[in-house]
Amino acid sequence: MTAWLSSHGGAFHLSLVLLLLIGRCGGLAVRAKIPKRKTHTLDDALVASITSADVEHNDVQQFVREGTAYMEAMGIKLSEECEPRYGYTFIADQKHHHFRLCKSEAKLSRDGKLTGVSRSQSALSKYRSRFEKKKKQVRKDHPTVSTSDKNTNMTKSAASAAATDGVGKRRSMLQHLWHHGTAMDGDTSATASAAFVRDDDGGNQPTNPRDSDPDGWNVRRSLGQEDLLELEPQLEQEVAPDLSGGGGGDASNNNSKARRLQAAGNSSSLMYKILKYVETRKDNGDGGDTSDVYNDDDGDSDADAKAAATELENNDPSVDGADGAANATSIAATVTASDAEKAAKKEAWLAKRRAAVSNAIEPDVEVPELTAINNTFKSSVSCYLQPSMPRNVGYKDAQLLCLGRNVVLDSCAYYDGQNDEFDVRFPKPKVGALKLGCTVRAPLLYERNLTKGFKNRVWWMYAQDNAYDVVRQSCASGSGRVVEHPVAFVLRDRYTHTLHELEVLSTIFTSLAVVDLPEVREQGIQIVLADQMPHASYRPTYAAISYPYRLRHLAEAPYPPNTCFRTALFINAFTNSIAFNPNPNTSDCFSPVMIGVHKWLRNLHKELDPTYLARVHHHASETGGIVRRSIVWTSRRNLEALRLTSGVGMTEWQSARMVPNENEVVTALQSAILRWNSRSCLLSRYYEGDQGLEGCRDSNVQFDLVFGEFSDWPYYPDQLMTIYRTGILIGVHGAALTFIASTTAGESALLELAGLGWEETQTGNMLNLFPSLAHNLGAYYEQVRYQGPDIDIKMATDALERAMDEVSRRITVNQKRLQQDLEPPRFNDQYNFDIMFPHACPTSVPNKLRRYVTNHPVQMNLNASTPDNSSNSSRSNTEAGGR
C-alpha cells in the first residue's frame, strides 16, 4: 500500500483536489449536512409567518356552531336531561363554574419593587409536608401487594388481611386482589354489615359481596401459555361434572356447553383452554372478574387516597381523624349517643366543605388585580369544573382544565423522579419544578370535587408558589426564556387505547371551547405531551392540532431551564369527558358538541376524507351515482392471540370477548352483504332481467366487507382511510367501536355484539358507552346479545341487514335533502361524458354543458323498460343526435 501511494500518490491527490473543486463549483452535488435540532430550544414554529388559515382549526367554537346548525337542520331538540350533558350547556356551564386556584394581589411600584408579596412559608408547603408524612405512615401501616408477585398459592391469612384492609377502597388494576370465595361462604350477617361503606364524602357506597378470594387476581393477571399448561390437570377435574350432564339448567345450553368443553378437552388451542377455565369457574360458583378495566382508580393509590382523606380531617379539629377517613369501616347496626354526636359533627363538617366549594366558584373574568394577564411579574391559575358530570366515578376527576398565566417550568426537574406500578406513566416532579408567582389556595387542593386526583397533584401539589423573583426574572420580555404563543400540556391516559384517546381529544376540544381565548384563535396552540408514554398511534392527530407548531413530547424535547409560558392550558384528560358516558339514563342523547368534535377530527385529516378529495380533485368514477360504503368487522383475534402466546395473559373480561367461530361469522356476513347488494334494481335486472325488477330495492347504495384487524394497521393513514369510507361498524364490545365517532355523521350504524350476563360484572355499565357515543352522532345503533362464547350467526346477519337498510335509507334521504333530485346511475367513459365549455368565453352554442351519449351499435340501452329512465335515455339520445 505504501509503495502504491509513493508511485501513484501525486495522481491520487490531484484527482481529489479536482473533485473538490468541481463540487464547490456546483458540478458535483454534495449533500448538505442537516443540523440536528437541539432539545433545549424554544424554536417550535413550522412556518415563518402564521396566518389565520394556519390556525383556523383551533377555533373550535366554529365547529360547535356547525354541530348546533346540523342539529337544527335535522329538527332535533334535546330533552332537559340531555341538554346539560350533551348540548351547548355543557360548554356554557363550565364557564360559570370557574375558580381561582392561584392568585396574587402583588403590585409593581414605580421604583420596580413588588408590594403585597408574602415571603413566609406558604400554606401549600405546609400541606405538602403533612401530606407526604401521612402517606408514608399509611404505606407503613398498610403495605401493598407487590405486582411482580405471580404466586397463585397465597396464604389464607394474607387473603383475610387483604380482604379486611381493602373494604371500600378504590383499587388499582395492577394492585387489587380478585376475591370471590370467603364472603360468599362466610356469615351472611357479616356480608350484610359490609354491604355499605363510607365513601370519601361520607356517603354510603355498596361493596361487592364477592371480594375475598386470594388466588383469582394472580390467575387473572398471568393467564399466559405456561399458566394454562399448569392448570390443565385442574381443568380436567373441574370439567368432568359438566360433561357428565350435571349442573341443571336448560338442556340445549348444557349440551352446547358440553360439546364446546369436550372440543376444548380434545384441543391444544390456548383460546379453548382459557374459555374452559373461565366457564368452569363460573359454573362452580366462583364468580367472574369483578374488576372494571375502564373505571379502575389506577391513579390514586390506596396510600395517596387515605393520606388525602386524613389530611382533610386534620383541617377540622372538631372531627376525629380516624372517623373522618375516606376508607372507614362499615357502618355499625346500632348507633350510640357518642356516635350520633360524631355523625352530627361529620354532617356539619361536610356542609362546611360544600360551602367551601360553593364559595370558591367565581365569575370567569380577567381581573387585573388577581390575574397575570398583561404583566410579567406574577402568575395566576384558574380552573374550570364540569357541573353536569357525576362525581367520584372511578378515577374520573371533576375538573376539566386549568389556565395558567406566566408559569415557569423546569422540564428536567419535572421528570426528576419515577412513580411505581401503573403510575409509572406519569412524572414524579421535584418540588419546585413548576414555579408560580402567586399564592396557591391550599384548601382547594383537598376538595376532591375541585382538584381531586393524582394527575392534578403532578402539577399543583409539588409546585412552588410565591416564587415571585424567579417568575419576574424568567418572564421578563427580554429574558429569552418566554414562550409567547399558547401551549397546552396534556397528560394522556392509555396511549394505545382508542376509546381513551378519544377521551383526550374530546377533552382538548371542549377545553378550547370553554376558555375560547382570542390568542388561540390568532396564534394557534401548541400541544405538549407531558406524560412518560411513547408517541404511539395518535401522534399525527396531536401534531395536526399543534400546527403551525411542532408537536412536542416533553420527555424527549425538554424546554430550557425555567422557561416561562405566557399562556398555558393544563388539560386534565382523566375527567368524565363528553365522549365517555356509562350512564344509561342519557345514553340515547344526540349531541351537537360531539358533532362538533366529529367535524373537527375529520377536518384535522381532511386530506384523507373522500368527500374532501372528490371536491378538490374533481374525482368522477366510471359508474356515476352509485354510493359505496364499507362494512368493517372489528376483529380482536391477533391481539388476543398475542396476549395468550406471549405469556402476558388476559382478564376474564377480555377472554369473554374472544370469538371461537369468527371465521364462520365473517363468511356469513360476506354472504349477507352480497345478497343485499344483489337486490338493488340495478343488479336485479342485471342478474334476472326485467323479471328481477319486481320488489327490487330502489337505492344506489352498495356495501363492501372489510376485515378490520385495527391492531395490525397504522392509525395514520390506514385506519382513518378505512373509517372515513365506513357505513357500518360491527364487532364485539371493544375499543375499536370508538371509530363510530369518525364515520359520516347521520349516515352510519354501529352493531355491538355483547354476551348475555356481561352486565352482571362491574364492566356491565360499560355496555352503555357505545350506544351513547353512537346516539351522540345520530348513528343507528343495535346491541346484539348472544349466549357466548360462539356468536349466533343468524342474529348477527339479521341485525346487519337491518343496519344496511337503515344506512341506505338515511343516505338516500340526505341526498334528496341536499340535491333535491337524486342522480341516477350513469356510465362515464370515452363515449359518455359531459362536454365542457369555458363559461367566460362567448360561443354560438345555446347550452354550454351538454351530455354526450354515443349510439355505439354494441351499446345496450338497459333503461328502456322503465318510464323514468326511458325518458332520461331518450332525452340524452336526442341531445346526442342534435349535435
The residue ranges of every structural domain in the chain are: 52-122+361-572, 156-283, 625-819, 829-881
Q: Is the pLDDT of residue 576 over 90?
A: no
Whole-number Å distance between alpha carbons of 551 and 554? 10
Of 47-51, 211-215, 581-585, 596-600, the range with the highest mean pLDDT is 596-600
What pLDDT, on the 0 to 100 scale, is given for residue 313? 45
Of 49-58, 92-101, 269-278, 364-373, the range with the highest mean pLDDT is 49-58
**pLDDT tens figures, 822-842:** 567 777 777 777 777 777 777
Contacts of 557 (CB under 8 A, 6+ apart): 37, 39, 41
Please report which confidence band the pLDDT of residue 267 belongs to, taking 50, 70 and 90 as the band edges: low
Whole-number Å distance between alpha carbons of 599 and 591? 12
Instruction: Find the range with the poorest average confidence among 379-383, 424-428, 685-689.
Output: 685-689
What pLDDT, on the 0 to 100 scale, is given for residue 615? 76
Mean pLDDT value across the chain? 74
Of 180-184, 213-217, 283-287, 877-881, the range with the highest mean pLDDT is 283-287
CB 393 within 8 A of CB 458: no
Considering the chain, what percentage of its residues have pLDDT values greater than 70? 65
The closest of 498, 500, 560, 489 to 528, measured between CA atoms, is 489
pTM of the predicted structure, to 2 decimals: 0.76
**pLDDT tens figures, 796-825:** 999 999 999 999 999 998 888 776 555 677
What pLDDT, on the 0 to 100 scale, is given for residue 32? 44
**Residue whose cell numbers read 320488489:** 695
Per the structure block, which three cell numbers stand in for 514?
370553554
CB 95 within 8 A of CB 596: no
Instruction: Find the range with the poorest average confidence among 129-138, 167-176, 236-245.
Output: 167-176
Higher pLDDT residue, 131 or 558? 558
CB 238 within 8 A of CB 284: yes
Contacts of 357 (CB under 8 A, 6+ apart): 447, 449, 450
What pLDDT, on the 0 to 100 scale, is given for residue 833? 75
The CB density around residue 192, as the number of other CB atoms within 10 Å, is 12
**Residue whose cell numbers read 426528576:** 416
Higher pLDDT residue, 148 or 648? 648
What pLDDT, on the 0 to 100 scale, is given for residue 457? 77
By DSSP bridging, strand 526-529 and strand 552-553 are parallel
The interaxial angle of helices 225-243 and 251-265, nearest 10 deg, is: 140
Q: Is the pLDDT of residue 865 over 90?
A: no
Q: What is the CA radius of gyration of the chain?
A: 33
User: What would be the CATH architecture of the domain defined by 625-819?
Assistant: 3-Layer(aba) Sandwich (3.40)
Please report which confidence band the pLDDT of residue 653 belongs to, taking 50, 70 and 90 as the band edges: confident
Instruction: Find the range with the poorest average confidence among 61-75, 189-203, 626-640.
Output: 189-203
Please report which confidence band the pLDDT of residue 844 belongs to, taking 50, 70 and 90 as the band edges: confident
What pLDDT, on the 0 to 100 scale, is given for residue 290? 38
Per the structure block, which three cell numbers stand in for 154?
397465597
What pLDDT, on the 0 to 100 scale, is given for residue 70? 95
Whole-Å CA distances, 17 to 21, 22, 31, 598: 6, 9, 18, 62
**Interior/surface letters 661-680, b for 16+ CB within 10 angstroms, e for the rest:** ebeebbebbeebbeebbbeb
- Residue 197's H or E segment, with its range, is strand 196-198
- Indicate if the alpha-carbon torsion angle 732, 255, 277, 645 is positive or negative: negative
Q: What are phi and psi of 387, to 5 degrees?
A: -65, -25
Q: Is the pLDDT of residue 677 over 60?
A: yes
What pLDDT, on the 0 to 100 scale, is given for residue 268? 62
Higher pLDDT residue, 405 or 455? 405
Please report which confidence band the pLDDT of residue 400 belongs to, taking 50, 70 and 90 as the band edges: confident
How large is the average pLDDT for residues 395-405?
77
Q: Is the pLDDT of residue 289 over 70?
A: no
Q: What are phi and psi of 238, to 5 degrees?
A: -70, -30
Torsion (CA) 470, 471, 473, 477 in degrees, nearest 10: 160
Please report which confidence band the pLDDT of residue 856 belongs to, taking 50, 70 and 90 as the band edges: low
Higher pLDDT residue, 637 or 324? 637
How large is the average pLDDT for residues 267-274?
70
Please report which confidence band the pLDDT of residue 272 belongs to, taking 50, 70 and 90 as the band edges: confident
Higher pLDDT residue, 387 or 539? 539
Please report which confidence band the pLDDT of residue 693 belongs to, taking 50, 70 and 90 as the band edges: confident
Considering the chain, what percentage of its residues have pLDDT values greater than 90? 35
Q: Is the pLDDT of residue 28 over 50?
A: no
By the 10 Å C-beta count (0-12 exposed, 13-18 middle, 19+ buried), 249 is classed as: exposed
CB 763 within 8 A of CB 293: yes
How large is the average pLDDT for residues 391-397?
52
Which residue intervals of 74-193 are DSSP H helices? 83-86, 89-96, 123-141, 156-165, 182-185, 188-193
Contacts of 790 (CB under 8 A, 6+ apart): 260, 659, 660, 661
First to last CA, the chain: 84
CA angle (438, 443, 447) in 5-degree steps: 125
Q: Is the pLDDT of residue 792 over 90?
A: yes
Higher pLDDT residue, 592 or 349? 592
Instruction: Find the range with the poorest average confidence among 273-277, 338-342, 510-514, 692-696.
Output: 273-277
What pLDDT, on the 0 to 100 scale, is given for residue 536? 82
What pLDDT, on the 0 to 100 scale, is given for residue 380? 93
- Written as one letter, the residue type at 843 is T
By DSSP bridging, strand 380-385 and strand 98-103 are antiparallel
DSSP annotation of 763 reads: G
**Interior/surface letters 515-534, b for 16+ CB within 10 angstroms, e for the rest:** bebeebbebbbbbbbbbbbe
Q: Is the pLDDT of residue 371 over 90?
A: no
Three-class DSSP labels, 44-90: CECCCCCCHHHHHHHCHHHHHHHHHHHHHHCCCCCCCCCHHHHCCHH
How large is the average pLDDT for residues 418-438?
89
- Written as one letter, the residue type at 590 is F
CB 261 within 8 A of CB 239: yes
Q: Is the pLDDT of residue 482 over 80?
A: yes
Whole-number Å distance between alpha carbons of 443 and 428? 22
